[in-house]
Amino acid sequence: MRKGQNPAKSAKSVAKPERITAALLNYIPFLSGFYSETLDVLKVSLESMRKDAGLPFDLMVFDNGSCAEVRDYLVKEKEEGRIQYLILSEKNMGKGGAWNVMLAGAPGEIIAYTDADVLFYPNWLKASVDLLETYPNVGMVTARPFHTKPIYYTSTLDWARSEPNAALESGKFIPWGVYREFDLSLGQTEEEIRARYDETDYWQITYQGIKAFVGASHWQFTAFKSTLQEFLPFDMSKPMGQVKQLDERINNAGLLRLMTPEPLAMNLSNSTEYLQGKYIAPREKKRVGMWQRALNIAPVRKFFLFIYGRIFDWYYGN
């Protein structure tokens, strides 16, 4: 039998979410090896995101089965009011499984998604939303220009070529330093980055006085929630490696995929070296020893990575 009345019945109003939800996906299973610096990277990402976004937002974090130290940090951030919505998954659901929860459950009208290793610069959110709300039929906006595959933005080019109010230009619109910086963070060599840059032109659109570069990516994007829900659910058999489904589906639906002309987001990967000014091309690093050279021989590297993967699955697989 109920005793008394629920005090909540006397409340006259409820809190309303912000129009924009920034949604971050995190996975740090342990704090050693590949993941030894990733908690520091996560902290930098969250701090930079909140510092000067240009627009207000609520922050949602989905943790995909991280270790206790990471969960404790996130819970503390939530208790201190720096995270508005925190979801702690017991197991790693993969990126697709996490997206199904995040993109459907985020309360905002606009979702600004990010992986947990992204460094943001001032005005990143406002610049993204400006493109989202100025251009028609936008599927996603990434807050940085970088090299993307043409097969994922054919619909954007088709629209720009047929729209009389859009000016489409091709050229070296991404500055070499901006281009190089991002691709170095992916572990590519200076030589291959330079070769691709020299042989590739990029597309720039001007529409209603606002410039955008053609392309976008699943690692960081801003989109209308109603648009993203058209592409749910994602059924991915692997935790990673199949996330380009989102890029493909948006392009196939005839929607635009755009990037801000300014670099307002940067990939940190799994270390804080970029923040310490140590992001250098592999060929520029100091000479390695005999054993390290031996470990980089393709068959040897493949064998040890296989062993690493099996040990990882034994400890952390579902």
The answer to whether residues 227 and 150 touch, using CB atoms and an 8 Å cutoff, is no
Alpha carbon 312 to chain centroid, angstroms? 24
Angle in degrees, CA 83, 87, 89, rounded to 5: 145
Going from N- to C-terminal start, the domains of the chain cover: 20-267, 287-318
For 76-120, what is each residue's pLDDT tens digit? Answer: 999 999 999 999 999 999 999 999 999 999 999 999 999 999 999
Residue 289 has pLDDT above 90, yes or no: no
DSSP state letter for 71: H
Confidence of residue 1 (pLDDT cuts 50, 70, 90): confident
10, two tokens: 């006397």
pLDDT at 241: 55
Instruction: Give the residue ranges of DSSP H helices in 24-147.
Output: 38-51, 68-79, 94-105, 124-134
Domain 20-267 - what CATH class? alpha beta
- Label residues 173-193 b or e (16+ Cβ within 10 Å = b): ebeeeebbbbbbbeebeeeeb
The Cα 27–Cα 12 span in angstroms is: 39
**CA 100 – CA 86 distance, rounded (Å):** 15
Q: Is the pLDDT of residue 300 over 90?
A: no
pLDDT digits (tens, 9 = 90+) for 301-314: 667 666 766 666 66
Average pLDDT over residues 233-262: 85
Tell me the per-residue pLDDT of 25-74, one tens digit each, with 9 for 90 and over. 999 999 999 999 999 999 999 999 999 999 999 999 999 999 999 999 99
> Sorting pLDDT into bands at 50, 70 and 90, what band is 244?
confident
Does residue 238 surpass a pLDDT of 80? no
Percent of the chain with pLDDT over 70: 82
What is the structure's pLDDT at 77? 98
